[in-house]
Amino acid sequence: MALNVLASTFSFAVAQHYCGEDLVDFSFFGKAESCGMDVQQPSDSHQHKLQKKQCCDDETLSVQGNGDLLLSVENLSVGEHQFLVAFTYSYINLFEGLQENIVSVVHYPPPLLVKDIQILDQTFLI
């Protein structure tokens, strides 16, 4: 149950770098490394009318986890309140020990032997 809650609230992002149509690098915790074939942007003093088309592409896949796991006690019905109180009471009392150790077999007499079964069956404990 705890793993299910952790998996549903976990957010992560995967960064991917493609060169053409090939996946070159991916990263779970940061930016994906470039392949080194990125087109450099011209500076303002050297304006070119022709610009090369970039062959590289960066993509980021982001998965957001569920963040609204707060339980409001005010929205519970009477039956749910009764269940929570009964469950809490029984769970707390589950770990309480007895006041004294009660042994009910102290005064129990052993049964009378009609026949000695170990000798009749020829089974002896060594």
pLDDT digits (tens, 9 = 90+) for 73-99: 677 788 988 999 999 998 888 877 767
Q: What is the pTM of this model?
A: 0.40
Is 125 or 68 the better-scoring residue by pLDDT?
125
Q: Give me the residue label for tokens 């007895």.
A: 98
What is the average per-residue pLDDT within 28-56?
66
Task: Tell me the one-letter amino acid at 33.
Answer: E
The whole-number pLDDT of residue 58 equals 85
Question: What mean pLDDT value characterizes the chain?
Answer: 78
C-alpha distances in Å from residue 23, one per residue of 17, 32, 40: 6, 11, 21
| Residue 26 scores a pLDDT above 80 | yes
Q: Measured between alpha carbons, how far is 106 from 108 in angstroms, rounded to an integer?
A: 6
The DSSP code sequence of 24-81 is: EEEESSSPPPP-S-PPPPPPTTS--S--PPP-EEEEEEEEPPP---PPPGGG--HHHH
